[in-house]
Structure 1
Amino acid sequence: MPIYRIADLNIEINPKYEKTRKILANYITDENTADFCVEAKQSEIDRLTANGDIDYMVENSIINTLVCGKILDSYDGLFFHSSALMLDGGAYVFSAPSGTGKSTHTALWRKLFGDRVTMINDDKPIIRKKDGVFYVYGTPWMGKSNIGANISAPLKAVFLLERDSKNYAEKVSAGRVFAKLLEATLISRKQDKMLKILELYDEIFSAVDLFSLHCTVSDEAVIAAYNALRK
């Protein structure tokens, strides 16, 4: 089976559909040893497509869930629903419920900062600790916009977006916005997995700044976030 390099891990995956192979293509590697293997079972794909879902999209969703679950269990990482960009070599993550404007906001960063900004992933990046440092990794799963790259950068800050009539950013504790943070990852009913998520959040937000960004859809929102970082 082909091996893909995702979040600095070699993952053996056996895609059943050509469109799935195309989605994963930029992450294929010539490594011949895998850290772990995942595969979407045909019976599970068939069960879900019986409800009218598209087969390759179902396969991708299953693979994404399996990969993220394995990384959470064994490799100090988690999926974080967000739009993540790299600015001057550091990763900045912007999270909010779907429809709030994450992608619109990061598009404004690209407009204002030009070549200083590279998109890591516009929907499903992975945050993972490696050698004591948390990195943000691009993944093949980039949402409807299909914006991202097979790159990584050290995590510098996380912003939780909230639509408002004014633009300002305030540093917050993880406890204050805990419900929003949980919405951004795959919540599990299994106690050991939830404990792992809580442990990782504690480590992440002890190491990097967490901001609540109240914003309009404007350049001023980007400036408010950038100035908060500089302070």
Structure 2
Amino acid sequence: MNETSTIEIGKWTIESNYYEEKENYYSFPWKLDSFKKEKNIDNIKFYFDLKQYTLSHDILDKNKIYDARKVFHNYNVFQDENNDFIWRQDDLNKNCLLKYKINPSWDKINLIYSSKNIDDKFLFEYLGRIFFYSVINYGGIVLHSVLMEYNDKGIIISAPSGIGKTTHARMWRDKERALIINGDRALCRKIYGKWTGFGMPWCGTSGEYINRDVEISAIVVLEQAKENSVEKLNILQAFNHMIPNITAPTWEKNLLSKAMDYLEDMVNEIPVYKLKCTPDIEAVELLKKEIDKL
């Protein structure tokens, strides 16, 4: 059985091919329904060719270029003789769970191995991590931030994990009827000369996402404090504050360089504020006064 479907995320089309071989069948979770398109769109395409290979996947684990076993994601990246990347995801006992093969252009991704112990939802979530990197080669950048919309203005809320960006965004939602487009990742792309934020079906543990886009009007960096204050950052300050939020592969220098260029362009064109805040509604009200001026 061979099935092809097309979805749109961030104005890119993604053509996915599913194959059934023996007892192995891959299908995307229901969460993609709002992103499905009935016809192809004339734009850049990523081909997620998800086929269970019959070759021995172990022969590909030779030229390791990145080892992330000491961090949460627990994955390795190899490179074969054709310069394709092999993304291997392991469990905590170093047993291989899945492997994706990625071509040098980052527009074709093949599932070449999956353990029988993992389900489609797991495969889909890790495919998202590769998608974050793929878009860099085609004018996009993903930031570890909340993307929300308030009065037709796109706002990126950025902060290290545990600082309170989710709490702050939800106060905006509850108090000011802001719309959370993605609770964990901001997919950004310049459209007609304007940086635009897009919804996508990968949202970390927040569980919050919708299929919507909005022009980005402001970027906000949160910092915990005993009193609330807000200041507009200069370009250098803004760039330095946002660098840790870039989702880009350190082991692929070309993509990393492009992502840095995109971020530099963003902070040159979009005002960036630092909000020193307490976890209460007064912080929202203070920031709102600045956003309403835009």
TM-score relative to the length of structure 2: 0.69
Whole-Å Cα distance in 2 between the matches of residues 211 and 93 of structure 1?
Answer: 10
Q: Which residue identity lines up with residue 70 of structure 1 in the other structure?
A: S
Hey, which of these two has a bigger chunk of strand by percent?
2
| Residue in 2 that maps onto 1:21 | 29
- Secondary structure of 1:176's counterpart equals helix
Cα shift at 1:48 = 2.7
Alignment length (residue pairs): 227
Residue of structure 2 aligned with 1:36, choices 46, 61, 73 = 46
Whole-Å Cα distance in 2 between the matches of residues 21 and 62 of structure 1?
Answer: 13
Cα shift at 1:80 = 0.9
126-135 vs 166-175, greater mean Cα deviation? 166-175
- Secondary structure of 2:162's counterpart equals coil
Cα shift at 1:172 = 1.0
Q: Which residue identity lines up with residue 164 of structure 1 in the other structure?
A: A
Cα shift at 1:89 = 1.1
| Residue in 2 that maps onto 1:2 | 5
| Residue in 1 that maps onto 2:90 | 48
Task: Give the 3 Å change call, closer, same or farther, for CA 69–9 of structure 1 in structure 2.
Answer: same
| Residue in 2 that maps onto 1:65 | 129
Residue of structure 1 aligned with 2:195, choices 118, 123, 134 = 134
Whole-Å Cα distance in 2 between the matches of residues 78 and 45 of structure 1?
Answer: 20
Does 1:123 find its partner at 2:126?
no
Q: Which residue identity lines up with residue 187 of structure 2 in the other structure?
A: I
Whole-Å Cα distance in 2 between the matches of residues 100 and 54 of structure 1?
Answer: 32
Does 1:163 find its partner at 2:224?
yes
| Residue in 1 that maps onto 2:109 | none
Superposed CA deviations along residues 102-146 of structure 1, whole A, max 9, x for unmatched, are 1110111112113xx211110122011111111000000122231
Cα shift at 1:174 = 4.1
Cα shift at 1:8 = 1.2
9-18 vs 38-47, greater mean Cα deviation? 38-47
- Secondary structure of 2:90's counterpart equals helix
- Secondary structure of 1:175's counterpart equals helix
Cα shift at 1:186 = 1.7
Structure 2: which 5+ residue stretches go unaligned? 19-24, 58-85, 98-116
46-55 vs 104-113, greater mean Cα deviation? 46-55
Q: Which has the larger radius of gyration?
A: 2
TM-score relative to the length of structure 1: 0.87
| Residue in 1 that maps onto 2:279 | 217
Which one has more relative contact order, counting CA pairs under 8 Å at least 6 apart?
1
94-103 vs 33-42, greater mean Cα deviation? 33-42
- Report the RMSD for the aligned CA atoms in angstroms: 2.5
Whole-Å Cα distance in 2 between the matches of residues 187 and 106 of structure 1?
Answer: 24
Does 1:183 find its partner at 2:244?
yes
Q: Is the 8 A contact 2:171 2:281 kept in 1?
A: yes
Structure 1: which 5+ residue stretches go unaligned? none
Task: Give the 3 Å change call, closer, same or farther, for CA 47–215 of structure 1 in structure 2.
Answer: closer
Superposed CA deviations along residues 175-201 of structure 1, whole A, max 9, x for unmatched, are 225454222122323222122112111
Cα shift at 1:162 = 0.9
Whole-Å Cα distance in 1 between the matches of residues 37 and 134 of structure 2?
Answer: 19
Identity %: 23
